[in-house]
């Protein structure tokens, strides 16, 4: 018979990999059987393909557990029923455990629960790698941030397990080449006491930074990947992690400024919130100077104090300018809008110059503009208007967060 995996009968043996897969950060034996301690991936296409599906099982649970400190890994599965290849033209069920282990590239993953339970005891002797940058309190919890580089082989072994999370939480993420000594690591831990009273350090999140060369003899760090694990999200901990990176590099004379590699919307929001909060106290961003427009002094002071690059300093200026703008005053708001639109219009100015250059060709071949992706004046106006509206909404979110949740005083 024809095997239609999407069909009614066959579909019973197709599982959503995001639903089937569960993670745990295990601190005690009790956590292993506690469903409330589990959390789900945001994506799994890098393991199970674009459809994020697993064939061959009913009631499937794939368990990928980590000890909270060392990140010792356990991988197992449970299911209610498995497909019989004889009824599906010889199609075998997916070999889930083999597939995961191959994709994660981890040489040793525990497959026996009893062995994993024994390994949990080793967490009590775990000590963070590298240099301690800072510690801070959040309620009754204490956190610490450590910096490490590629010279520590024990850390690199630990990082092999740590980086497996990015495949499930950062789209298009890939493992980094730790043979390159320019990689730097910042790891956030939560301090807690084990059931025996031992002081332990549970992994909360981490960030990788690549130190690029900047002419003539300087370094330009670029934030590459940042992840706070799901059980610790929505607590403002990423703010402390990012600020610790700023603090680390602001004390190094050879650093020009800090950049970010392809920030997603969530990280850009975090960055805007931190940078605008920090710059709001600088003299060059005072009210009277904000009303005079963006200035070289703003870019210079933001870089000198916090290693914020010029492009981001301009964005911070616009956020703080909006804060001081009376949106109900037509003249005041119009001045702000035109200022922002002038920046947003820069790519369109280049397009306009190209249109002038190709004027004769465009008149001879009206389809050439479409082939080159060139917009009409009306289309450019509409696009620019939408870009401003979207930008204003983003800035208002930042300002609302700054008002409701001021930057913690212990971050700088």
Distance of CA 150 to the CA centre of its chain: 21
Under 8 Å between Cβ of 195 and 237: no
Nearest CA among 164, 162, 175 for reference residue 204: 162
Identify whether the C-beta of residue 28 lies closer than 8 Å to the C-beta of residue 69: no
What are the phi and psi torsion angles at 157 (to 5°)? -65, -40
| Separation of first and last alpha carbons in the chain | 68
Pair 89, 1: CB distance under 8 Å: yes
Backbone angles phi, psi at 349, to 5 degrees: -65, -40
Q: Which of 301, 277, 279 is nearest to 408 (CA)?
A: 277
What Rg do the C-alpha atoms of the chain give, in angstroms?
26
Instruction: Give the CA angle between residues 25, 28, 32 to the nearest 5°.
Output: 65
261 is annotated as an active-site residue: yes
In angstroms, the CA 267 to CA 245 distance is 14
Helix (H) or strand (E) holding 172: none
Q: Which of 30, 199, 261, 266 is catalytic?
A: 261
Residues linked to residue 24 through DSSP beta bridges, in sequence order: 38, 65
CA distance 228 to 270: 12
- For residue 42, how many other CB atoms are within 10 A of its CB? 11
On whether 264 is known to bind a ligand per the annotation, the reply is yes
Name the pairing type of β-strands 259-260 and 218-228: parallel
Residues marked as catalytic: 261
Residue numbers belonging to the annotated binding site for acetyl-CoA: 264
Residue numbers belonging to the annotated binding site: 264
């Amino acid at each position: 018979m024809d095997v239609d995996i999407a069909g009614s009968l066959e579909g019973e043996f197709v599982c959503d990999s995001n639903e089937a897969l569960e993670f745990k950060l295990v601190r005690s034996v009790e956590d292993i059987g506690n469903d409330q301690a589990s959390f789900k991936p945001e994506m799994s296409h890098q393991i199970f393909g674009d459809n994020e599906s697993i064939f061959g099982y009913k009631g499937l649970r794939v368990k990928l557990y980590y000890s909270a400190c060392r990140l010792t890994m356990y991988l197992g599965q449970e299911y209610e029923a498995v497909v019989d290849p004889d009824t599906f033209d010889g199609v075998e069920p997916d070999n889930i455990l083999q597939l995961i282990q191959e994709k994660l590239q981890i040489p040793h993953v525990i497959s026996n629960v009893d062995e994993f339970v024994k390994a949990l005891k080793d967490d009590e002797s775990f000590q963070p790698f590298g240099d301690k940058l800072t510690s801070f309190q959040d309620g009754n919890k204490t956190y610490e941030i450590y910096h490490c580089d590629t010279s520590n082989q024990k850390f690199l072994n630990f990082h092999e397990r740590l980086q497996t999370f990015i495949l499930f939480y950062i789209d298009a993420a890939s493992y980094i080449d730790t043979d390159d000594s320019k990689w730097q690591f910042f790891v956030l831990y939560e301090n807690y006491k084990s059931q025996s009273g031992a002081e332990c350090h549970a992994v909360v999140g981490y960030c990788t930074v690549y130190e690029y060369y900047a002419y003539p003899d300087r370094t330009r760090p670029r934030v590459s990947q940042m992840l706070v694990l799901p059980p610790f999200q929505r607590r403002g901990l990423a703010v402390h992690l990012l600020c610790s990176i700023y603090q680390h590099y602001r004390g190094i004379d050879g650093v020009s400024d800090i950049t970010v590699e392809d920030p997603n919307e969530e990280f850009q929001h975090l960055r805007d919130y931190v940078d605008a909060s920090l710059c709001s106290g600088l003299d060059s961003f005072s009210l009277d100077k904000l009303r005079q427009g963006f200035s070289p002094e703003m870019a210079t002071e933001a870089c000198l104090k916090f290693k914020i690059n010029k492009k981001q300093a301009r964005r911070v200026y616009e956020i703080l300018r909006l804060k001081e703008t009376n949106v109900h005053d037509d003249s005041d708001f119009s001045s702000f809008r035109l200022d922002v639109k002038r920046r947003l219009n820069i790519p369109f100015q280049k397009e306009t110059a190209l249109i002038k250059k190709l004027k004769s060709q465009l008149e001879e071949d009206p389809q050439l503009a479409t082939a080159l992706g060139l917009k009409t004046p009306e289309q450019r106006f509409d696009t620019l208007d939408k870009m401003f509206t979207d930008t204003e909404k983003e800035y208002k979110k930042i300002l609302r967060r700054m008002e409701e949740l001021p930057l913690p005083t212990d971050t700088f």
